[in-house]
Amino acid sequence: MAEQNCLFCRILEGEIPAEVIYRDDRSVAFRDINAQAPVHVLIVPSEHIESLDEASQRDEALLGHLLRVAARIANEEGLTESGYRAVINTGEGAGQSVFHLHVHVLGGRPLNWPPG
Ligand code: AMP
């Protein structure tokens, strides 16, 4: 169910433009508007779920699917050799700014650990 005031729901509905690079029946992937690495893609479930914390047992298959899509995109973007990071910021304190669950895929530069 789309949420009216959700930025990513509006992107999914095509109301706000985005550089979509992948779409299937459960998810959409588009390039982050404020890329933090040469490759920075967001994988978003078509269904509105606020955060990882809001995902329930019923979402288990969907969560696995999002990670599989993340790996597929990393592969297509040429990151398999160099490595990449899949990140789910959860809650304001961890840097979540859009409250529609999403997986960041970052790569194409050295990624430090621990992250800030
Ligand atoms: P987070 O801070 O983990 O919630 O991630 C939200 C991400 O959405 C940030 O990296 C933003 O740069 C990105 N973002 C915000 N608005 C847009 C947009 N219109 N198109 C693509 N990415 C966006």
CATH number, domain of 102, equals 3.30.428.10
Q: 77 in a domain, yes or no?
A: yes
Give per-residue pLDDT as tens, 66-93.
Answer: 999 999 999 999 999 999 999 999 999 9
Range of the domain at 98: 7-107
Establish whether residue 91 lines the binding site of ligand 1, counting it when its CB lies within 6 angstroms of any ligand atom.
no
Q: 115 in a domain, yes or no?
A: no
Mind spelling out the 3-state secondary structure of 14-33?
Answer: CCCCCCEEEECCCEEEEECC
Task: Give CA separation, 63 vs 2, 18, 27, 101, 106, in Å.
Answer: 18, 22, 10, 10, 18
Establish whether residue 98 lines the binding site of ligand 1, counting it when its CB lies within 6 angstroms of any ligand atom.
yes
- Three-class SS state of 61: helix
Q: 67 in a domain, yes or no?
A: yes
- Structural domain count, the chain: 1
Q: How far is the CA of 81 from the centre of ligand 1 (A)?
A: 26
Give per-residue pLDDT as tens, 3-35.
Answer: 889 999 999 999 999 999 999 999 999 999 999
Q: 99 in a domain, yes or no?
A: yes
Establish whether residue 112 lines the binding site of ligand 1, counting it when its CB lies within 6 angstroms of any ligand atom.
no
